[in-house]
Each structure stands twice: as structure tokens, then as C-alpha cells.
Amino acid sequence: MRIRTSGNVTPGTYNINFQGEGPSGTPVHRRTATLDVILPTLDFGVDLLVSDNCSNSITLHFGTAPGATDCYDAGLDIEAPPPPPLDAFDGRFFSCGYYLFTDIRATNPAEERIWDVRYQPAGGCEPISLSWNPSQFPATGYFHLVDVGSNNLVNINMRTTNHYSELIEINHLKINYNYQICSNYSITSGWNMLSLPIDVTNNNYLTLFPGAIPGTLFRYTGGYISTETMNNSSGYWLKFPMQQVSQVCGLDRTESVVTLNAGWNMIGGPNCNVPLSSVTDPGGILIPGTLYGYSGSYSTSTSINGTKGYWVKANGSGTITISCGNVVDKNEEILSKIIKSTEEFGKIEISDAMNNNQTLYFNGKLEENINIESYSMPPLPPAGGFDARLAGDYRLTESDEVNIELQASEYPIRIKVTNLNTNESYVLTEIANGVEAATHKIANGTEIVINNKEVTILKISKEQTVPTTYNLEQNYPNPFNPSTTIKFSIPEATNVRLTIYNTIGEKVGELVNTNLEAGWYSYQWDAENLATGIYIYELRTDKFVSVNKMILMK
């Protein structure tokens, strides 16, 4: 027998009267029956309130039940009509091509359950908010509200908070329910800064990352220390032979209490993405602007991703708390000032052959309330990692002349200087093994290429007054072994050739063969592969020729 109702039926016991009619319409066969209405039993059910800033709202329902599927289930799910226009409020689930107000999934604790939530505010009624009651969740398992892409824009532990307000327009999130948390690591070839945001049963680094190069895990405590294990709340260096994706699974961590020492610290966070401005710092020990991540080179960061390691500088010892339950990105005026203050400085962009890059600043004036320590740089990465910094471990100086310390393994190195003071002329000098190796005139926005792998210092200085005469100086040192520096000056733009010959007139080297502007120049010659003896170097221009001797003594 089938009974059809005209609306929703509440579970319970009902007495139903059945009556038929005879040929004349008189009632016959009167009977009374008892009907028990039982809906499918849910493992759990959660109400999800979706609302906007104009008091529009809708309550969605999600949960799991035995016998349910991941698609539409009659009697369990409630189907929604097609979405409204873009400027109309809406909230719904989406599954298997169906729009749903109630989405009940199958009971399956062995696999992840995912609900696809879609929503939009009414026009001009931003932001959208989602709220729920954590007590409606089952006793075990993890619930996270995450963005559909990287899980780095939104990653909310729904057990520890009951509300989310959308700061950036996403309009599409997922609810993930599982019994084990897996963190995905995007690994680059070479050195990586990593952390461990979850609890694991075996924290040996080669168990966690079997693709890593053995012997390359380092922590930092006033210096790099080799270690075999990774602990929560700390940052680590680890080297990999190639790019790869690694997955580490364990139990969720929603908070990291990190102990800091005065100076630089390598830290890690919990299993979410936390804005730096949301970090609890009761002692005010964090120096603004000093949170650095690493991806081939150092770069400042405004948030802490759970899988990444970071450098941060403290002005004293103490503790900070990084919590997934405190992810509202507050307006941080000081951080925006630190960034904006660089706009009036000369800008030095340095990159290697792998496009790892660093930007440095010079020749400007900081606002009075901005501390130079906000532009300090962390300790050097391990050998082989790219780095460029100003002397004293800074990325900014008010000085109009600078020394740049360079660490690189992939050549050539490319340098571009912009936003120069137009009233001054500058030159860049390559320094290798303490000796000037080459000099380049700096033109605003023009790239300079460094091929000499021995160069570890780059010096940017004001150019002296344009020379009035041609001059070829005596090389220094002389005698030399195996390299020496040759300097010359030209009073006008001209084609220049600087050539090295042996005593029988054979050309053994050519340091310059190009057009140069008026100025002073310095080039280094390396005679590693030549025999002891006397060599001649010749400077030849369109209007000038000069020759000097030098002695290679091995």
C-alpha cells in the first residue's frame, strides 16, 4: 500500500482511518490502522547558517547516514531550485549536478567526506558569513572549512570556532570531514624551508620525506645544527634533488605556542594559514617586517602557512601563539608603512640563472617611526642557496653607496638598478677574492650581466668626474698569481678593446671589445691556465692606443 502526503511529515505514530464507498456513495469498509513514520537515522546532522550583511539568511543541513550516497538521495536530501541571478542572495550545496539545501553523505569513516558549499550575498550586502554549532559534530573526526584551491586562503577548524566571515570574495568553499589530516607539501628542487603542522607517530625526516637528500635537515639555534627529527612549531632547512609533491598525514594541530629567543628564529605554525597580524604577541617582541619565507630566495611574508618554515626576528625572548581560531586579518598600518617606505629609494633587483631573485633598496630616507631593523635579513641560507644582501645583513639602507654580498651557484647573475637619483651617476664594481674584477656604468633600468663565478661582492658607488684624458694604469698586483686587475679611463664614448698578448705576439685573452661611455673602468684577468712569464696588455680605442707589461709568476 502507498500513502501520498501533500507536505513534510514529522516522525511519529499516526492513526489513519480507511473508508471506501458503495455504489450509492454510502461509506463501507471502515477500518482504522496505526502507521509509524520513521525517517532514516543520521550519524550526525549539522545546521549551517548562511547570511549576508542585509539580514538575508538560509539554513542548510549536512551530515552522514547509513545507506546514503554522495549524490542526491530521495528521503534524505532536499533539492534546491536553480540558482538566482548574481545580485540575489543565495546559499546551497552542490553534488553530482544537483543543487541541495540538505546534503546527507554516506557513512564512511575510512575516507574523507566533502561538502561543496556555494553562496552569494545580495548586491551591496557583503560580506557573507557562515556559522554553525560545533556541538552538533560527532565525537570523533576533523571538520575544516577550506577554499577549493590551495587550502591556503581559508582553512578554518570548525571544532574550535563557530563562525567565518568572508574577507575576500570567494563564494565557494568546502567542508572536509575526515579521521586523519594530510598536509600536502609543494617541494622545489634544492633547499626548502619546512615545518610540521600536524602530530605524527614517527617524526624522522626521511620517514616524513623519503625523497629528501640524507643529511640535509638543519634547525637553527644561534647557528645551523644538523638533526634527524622534526618537531612542531619549528622551522627547518631540508634539501631535495628535484621538484616533487609530498604528503604527510597525522592528527590535527590547531595552535602553536612558539618560544622565541632575541634575534632570529626559525618557526612553524599549526595546520592552517594564519595572517601575521593575527598572531598573539603579548610581549610585543616581534619586529614588524621580519617574517621571511624562502622559495629559491628570501621574501617577506604577511601570513604563516602550516607546511612552510619561516624566519622571524624578536627584540627579546618570550612566546607567541599562532592559532587557527584567530584568522581575521586585521588592518596592520605599520606593515603597509614598511612596504610603502621603499617607494622613494633606489631599487636594486638581482637574479640568478634560475630566476631566484632579491630586491634591495638604497639612497632614500625612512619615516621617523620606521625602524631600520624592519629591513634586516635572516642568516644566510645553506651553501648553494641564492642570496643577495647589503653589508650588515639588511635589504635597505639610507646610504647612497652600498656593498652587496652575493651568494649564488647558478650563473649568470643579472642586476638592474631603477629609481636612481638623476642628479648622480653610478658605477657597479665586481669584486672577486678582494680584488676589483670589472666595472660597469649603471644606466637607470638597464640590465648588467655578471658571469664571473668568483665575484662575491658588488659595489655600487657614485661615479667620479668624467676623466679628461685617456689612461691605461699598471696592473695590480704585479707580479701576480693567477689573477690581476687592469684599470683604465676614457674621456669620451668610444669603441674599446683591451687585449692580452704573450711575448711572441699571440693573443691569449680579450677582456673588452665593445662601446663604452666615458669613465673609469676596472677588469680582472685570470691567468690560471697560462705559464709563468711576461705578458703584454693593450688598450685600443678609436683615438688612443697604450701598452703595458705584466709578470705572471707561479
The percent of residues in the chain predicted with pLDDT above 70, rounded, is 90
Closest CA to 333 of 277, 381, 281, 294: 277
Distance CA 42, CA 105 (A): 10
Q: Is pLDDT of 250 > 90? A: no
Across 372-442, where does the E strand assignment appear? 387-390, 402-407, 413-418, 426-432, 435-442
Distance CA 80, CA 95 (A): 11
The percent of residues in the chain predicted with pLDDT above 90, rounded, is 67
User: Tens digits of per-residue pLDDT, 471-510?
Assistant: 999 998 889 989 898 999 999 999 999 999 999 999 999 9
The class level of CATH for 338-462 reads mainly beta
Per-residue confidence (pLDDT) for residue 141, from 0 to 100: 84
Confidence of residue 337 (pLDDT cuts 50, 70, 90): confident
Distance CA 448, CA 440 (A): 8
CATH number for 471-552: choose from 3.30.470.10, 3.40.50.300, 2.60.40.1930, 3.20.20.80.
2.60.40.1930
Helix, strand, coil % in the chain, rounded to nearest 5: 5, 50, 45
Judge whether 39 and 75 are in contact, CB under 8 Å.
yes
User: Tens digits of per-residue pLDDT, 309-332?
Assistant: 999 999 999 999 998 865 555 546
User: Tens digits of per-residue pLDDT, 375-432?
Assistant: 999 999 999 999 999 999 999 999 999 999 999 999 999 999 999 877 788 999 999 9
Q: Is pLDDT of 186 > 70? A: yes
Residue-averaged pLDDT of the chain: 88
Per-residue confidence (pLDDT) for residue 32, from 0 to 100: 55
For residue 253, give the DSSP letter.
-
pTM, two decimals, is 0.67
Where in the chain are the domains? 44-179, 182-330, 338-462, 471-552
Distance CA 369, CA 387 (A): 28
Residues 6+ apart with CB under 8 A from 202: 208
Per-residue confidence (pLDDT) for residue 434, from 0 to 100: 85
Q: What count of residues does the chain have?
A: 554
